[in-house]
Amino acid sequence: MDIVVNILVALHLLGLVIGMGSGMALGVLGARTRTAPPDHKGLLFAIGNVLGRNGQIGLGLLWVTGIAVVLLKYNGVAGLTWWFWVKMALVVVLSASVGIGGAAYRKVQAGDAGAGKRLAMAGKVNLVTGPLIILAAVFAFA
């Protein structure tokens, strides 16, 4: 069972790298897209779509592997500290923000300039909650 849990933890870390890396790249790409000439925006949006999908895959991988590790290694949540619940609350906030940001990104692509403010706010929320989740995880599981 230890091997399975270790593989799940490794996949969990991979999900973290994919999700956060894609999110950071999207932030840089978004700044470039706003000032890009119109003939470049199509390519930048296409790259953004791939990064967004990768970020969602990373987040999904985190959810699935995280739940599996808690069940297999800790036999559920009963013995976990309040740091675990802080982490989970932040994960819910991050997940909602990713969803809101993804919807806003599609609206920006369709020409809705007002959606850019929601997209920017989601990016800021993600930028803050990501590191806080890592900090809470360290206190919850170290």
Cα–Cα distance between 94 and 83 in angstroms, integer?
Answer: 16
Q: What is the pLDDT of residue 135?
A: 98
Q: What letter does residue 112 receive in the DSSP assignment?
A: -
Q: What is the pLDDT of residue 1?
A: 80
As given in the structure block, the two tokens for residue 121 are 């706010």
Cα–Cα distance between 109 and 30 in angstroms, integer?
Answer: 11
Cβ atoms of 56 and 103 within 8 Å: the answer is no
Cβ atoms of 62 and 92 within 8 Å: the answer is no
Contacts (Cβ under 8 Å, ≥6 apart) of 40: none
Q: What is the pLDDT of residue 34?
A: 85
Give helix then strand counts, H and E, for the chain.
4, 0
- Please choose, from the candidates 24, 42, 22, 23, the residue with its C-alpha nearest in 3D space to the C-alpha of residue 33: 42
Q: What angle do CA 46, 41, 17 make, to 5 degrees?
A: 45
Q: What is the pLDDT of residue 19?
A: 96
User: For the segment 122-142, what is each residue's pLDDT rounded down to a tens digit?
Assistant: 999 999 999 999 999 999 998
Domain ranges of the chain: 1-78, 80-142
> Over its length of 142 residues, how does the chain's per-residue pLDDT go in tens digits?
899 999 999 999 999 999 999 999 998 998 888 889 999 999 999 999 999 999 999 999 999 999 999 999 999 999 999 999 999 999 999 999 999 999 999 999 999 989 999 999 999 999 999 999 999 999 999 8
